[in-house]
Amino acid sequence: MNDSLLRELVPAVIAVLVRRGADFATAEDAVQEALIEAVRAWPRHPPREPKAWLVTVAWRKFLDAARADAARRRREERVDDEPAPEPGAAGDDTLQLYFLCAHPSLSPASAVALTLRAVGGLTTRQIAQAYLVPEATMAQRISRAKRTVSRVRFDQPGDLGTVLRVLYLVFNEGYSGDVDLAAEAIRLTRQLAARTTHEEVAGLLALMLLHHARRPARTGADGQLIPLAEQDRGRWDTRLIAEGIDVLQAALARDRLGEYQAQAAIAALHADAPTAADTDWVQIVEWYDELVALTGSPIVRLNRAVAVGEADGPQAGLAALAELDEALPRYSAAAAYLHERAGEPAAAARCYAEAARAASTVPERDHLTRQAARLNTQLRS
């Protein structure tokens, strides 16, 4: 039984049922039931055409549900004859399913959950484990999301930017439970990239690949966070780096710059440097300037201030940082780093302690606490 094949087929099969007239919620339920049948039947009798088999079984499951509902009898009469396949529509339908699952009417959390379920083919239990919530809670979230999008026409134009934000949210969750969400996000973005030539889809895929390439070096054996400058670059995945750079270069060649391409360009410059000292910080600042122009994001401005501190010296970085709101996430951590680079250990220790108190994850908090303790020890000696 090829689990990855089943998950690859899920969105296309749901899309076929919706195209034939099933509402989204019922179509998704029917496909899940067909997947259960596949797990039972395929080991003994593998089908020649797995997608066709799933479409047939899921459609019958849908018809069974329609027949069981007296209120849908008129609809059943209209769809009872199984339609012939629609050549050439599957790719477009799958792309539309991405748009449906990332519909603007859904909250980001619901859009992520629905995308993982309907497009990713994950079970409710797997999604609940990944987000560390009870399965019943996740089931309710997915059920509400399905009811919401069931009121949306399948051919209604979708927003690609929302789809990309949802996929990036999935990627940034990383790994927990028995599902590697970063790898899952890459798989889904590859799938999306195969269905559209939009340069920002390629930009997001490149960004994911370049970040994922550094993953083996981000934590030590004891789970401690390792900053980029201190990572063992020999542990970076050069195959993923090469692929990410190739994807990015092809996207940039279309000369329609977007925020994911700009972020990927920054990641590529980090990945291309043999050592931290060889990093081309001047060019990174230039890319941050592009990113600020594209997004106006205060977080981007904060990251740019750190890059300015590397390119033009820590005092220049602190000056850039001073223009921003101190309430920004990781403001104190950026200030701590720049103060230490400027030879101001007392100010750096104080900022590291502040950053530790505001940290959103345990590894980040522990790392910042260690940094504050290290400088305080130096100050006392």
Q: Which tokens go with 373?
A: 């303790």
pLDDT class of 68 with cuts at 50, 70, 90: low
Q: What is the pLDDT of residue 96?
A: 79
For the entire predicted model, the pTM comes to 0.79
And the tokens for 25? 């919620």
Task: Specify the pLDDT at position 80.
Answer: 47
Percent of the chain scoring above 70 in pLDDT:
90
Q: What is the pLDDT, as a whole number, of residue 176? A: 53
Predicted pLDDT at 200: 97
How confident is the prediction for the chain on average, in pLDDT?
87
Helices (H), ranges, the chain: 3-20, 24-41, 50-68, 73-79, 90-101, 108-114, 124-130, 135-149, 160-172, 181-193, 199-213, 238-252, 259-272, 281-295, 298-312, 314-322, 331-341, 345-358, 362-380
Q: Above 50 in pLDDT, residue 165?
A: yes
Residue 255 has pLDDT above 80, yes or no: yes
The answer to whether 13 and 51 are in contact (CB under 8 A) is yes
Q: What is the pLDDT of residues 70-81, one digit of tens each?
A: 444 554 455 444
